[in-house]
Amino acid sequence: MARSFVVQQHQATTLHYDFRLEVGGVLRSWAVPKGPSMDPAEKRLAVEVEDHSLAHGSFEGRAGKGGVIIWDRGSYEPLDDEGIEAALAQGKASFRLAGEKLRGAFTLVRTRGNEKKPQWLLIKRRDDEAGENADWPESVVSGKTLEELL
């Protein structure tokens, strides 16, 4: 069963990307400082943050002194037999993204889990979709860059 994912580029105190997977009726969320990568050699830090409502995944606009654009969105399929919820609880979840920018298999691996905000790595798996990162600064919804929005 396909579920939704969204990546929101977020200018707050610092610029980062919010990677969100629909899990159990909410968006499980990770802040990815450098953004997702299509290069399997680039393991990206992903700090787990609070869950968000599914409606939050469609937000694009100004927020406080910063703003948010929908950098990518689409659906995903879990690749783990036990399901995405169990895989995340165990600290390693693999899934196939079908987004407008991000495509193919990815894995989230928890590296530290005892803190208030567990740290993970977001890793692109080697497949036919893997490759170099493209310059994709614009929203998949409005076509605006974050700078244009602000």
Kindly tell me the number of DSSP H helices and DSSP E strands found in the chain: 2, 9
Cα–Cα distance, 133 to 38 (Å, whole number): 6
Tokens 């990307």 correspond to: 17
pLDDT tens column, 104-131:
999 999 998 767 789 999 999 999 999 9
Residue spans of the domains in the chain: they are 3-129+141-149
Classify residue 96 as exposed, middle or buried by CB count within 10 Å of its CB (0-12, 13-18, 19+). Answer: middle
Q: How many CB atoms lie within 10 A of CB 69?
A: 27
Residue 49 has pLDDT above 80, yes or no: yes
For residues 31-52, average pLDDT: 96
